[in-house]
Amino acid sequence: MDNWGSSKASAALAARTASPRIALYSPDSYGLGHYRRSRRIAAAIVDAIPDAAVLMLSGSSVADRFSPVPRTDIVRLPALTKSETGGYLARTLGLSGREVIRLRSAIIEAALASFKPDILIADHRPTGIEGELRAALELLHQTRRPALIALGLRDIIDVPTTVRRQWLRDGSYELIEWAYDEVWVYGRPEVFDTVAKYGVPPISAAKFRYVGYISDAPPTTRPVRRRIPQVVATGGGGEDAYELLSTAMLAHRISPTRFQLTVFPGPLMPPPQRRELDRAAAETGKDVTVTHFTERAPAVVAGADCVVTMGGYNSVIESLAASVPCVVVPRVKPRKEQLLRAERMARLGWLDCIHPADLSPQTLLDHVLAAINGPHGAQIPPDYLDGLKNVVARVCERLGTQPKQARSVAL
């Protein structure tokens, strides 16, 4: 990767510990996207730098369901959820939204002050949720210890007018200018030009780099057409996935063509809705399976003939990376991020998109059968999926080390 963005003083590099310390902050108020993306980055860093110590600060309420990453530990922040208006509430604690944000901020600041990271990678929100990351960023700049403070952004956050208004209101533009050395956009400008769409000023735009989409899906070609096609329906974390998944089960029920349906509700789906899906699957018979949680979901997706999913970053990229035909029914509130992603990628011919207002069992079935029986369309260019490789390369460069593979070749 070429040199870009601002750099810390060389003294910061000299001061780092023998075992590099990398901290990753992910807000995780809704769904699994931020945690899963950060977990993938942590695993890739440890794989490339075996003596690294990685500390994840995450608000995911289900982080403990995933297998541990070597040399990585998690500081669990008190969980949040979103209200219908898009505000934040404590998910489980009997605290007001303001109180739980203050608590999370104090935990973040104390953890980073003690851990003393050589590199901090913050995910998604420059200020953290409701400004919870500000105090820690100020502390790190006072100590001048980190060799790199990076912000990682998924390419599409929301419609441009909404993001520009929010970033002006919460001071994100100023924070990017003084607090972050680099900004990594997990996407490509050919799909969505984050810098231009969100009005990043020229002084900060120089810090931005489109590193590519974050995916560790194994290289896969579409399987030979089976006698009984395999369809996967997934809703990410599952908090608002019931309508799509129940519609997929109804579509299966009315289909004149036999196919096997695997449903992944997600660990955050409310229990009554999970039980309803179980009941419907039991009534349907052996061709429908409901699996409430498995880390193997990406591998199951990779082996499918069609994936039905909401438009979350991870779900879409996993399907595209595995070259599996994808029918996307995006969420449209409280944010339109998923709709923007689905519409843009549909125009590129990478996937099929159904607006949720048009969703019905018959409509979904028509799109699924077309995906199963039709030729696969345009595929995402392989180099668009280099996000993990490019992030690890930049971390190694700033630490002044070589990734494991390069070290072993030199030996």
Q: 78: which residues sit within 8 A by CB, 6+ positions away?
A: 59, 90, 91, 92, 93, 95, 100, 103, 104, 107
Sign of CA dihedral 344, 348, 354, 357: positive
Using DSSP, state whether 28 is helix, strand or coil: coil
Q: At what angle do helices 33-48 and 387-399 cross, to 10 degrees?
A: 50
Reading the chain (411 residues) residue by residue, the pLDDT tens digits are: 444 444 443 444 444 456 899 999 998 766 677 888 999 999 999 999 999 999 999 988 778 888 899 999 999 999 887 766 667 778 778 777 788 899 999 999 999 999 999 999 999 999 999 999 999 999 998 887 778 999 999 999 999 999 999 999 999 999 999 999 999 999 999 999 999 999 999 999 999 999 999 987 655 555 566 688 999 999 888 888 999 999 999 999 999 999 999 999 988 899 999 999 999 999 887 899 999 888 888 888 888 999 999 999 999 999 999 889 999 999 998 889 999 999 999 999 999 999 999 999 999 999 999 999 887 666 899 999 999 999 999 999 999 888 876 443 332
Structure tokens belonging to residue 2: 């070429």
At residue 121, the 3 state secondary structure works out as strand
> In 77-144, at which residue ranges do the beta strands (DSSP E only) sit?
80-82, 88-90, 119-123
Nearest by Cα to 157 from 195, 102, 106: 195
CB 208 within 8 A of CB 186: no
Q: What is the edge-to-edge ordering of all strands in the sheet holding 306-309?
A: 288-290, 260-264, 230-234, 306-309, 326-328, 352-353
Q: What is the DSSP string of 148-194?
A: EEEEEEES--S-HHHHHHHHHHHTHHHHHHHH-SEEEEES-TTT--H
**Upstream peptide bond of 334 is cis (omega within 30 degrees of 0):** yes
pLDDT at residue number 6: 43
HSE-up of residue 216 (Cα within 13 Å, Cβ side): 17
**Domains, the chain:** 10-212+386-410 (3.40.50.2000), 230-381 (3.40.50.2000)
The single residue listed with the structure tokens 């999970």 is 274
- Closest by Cα among 251, 214, 293, 301 to 38: 214
Residue 26 near residue 124, CB atoms below 8 Å: yes
Tell me how far apart the alpha carbons of residues 289 and 6 are, in angstroms, rounded to a whole number: 51
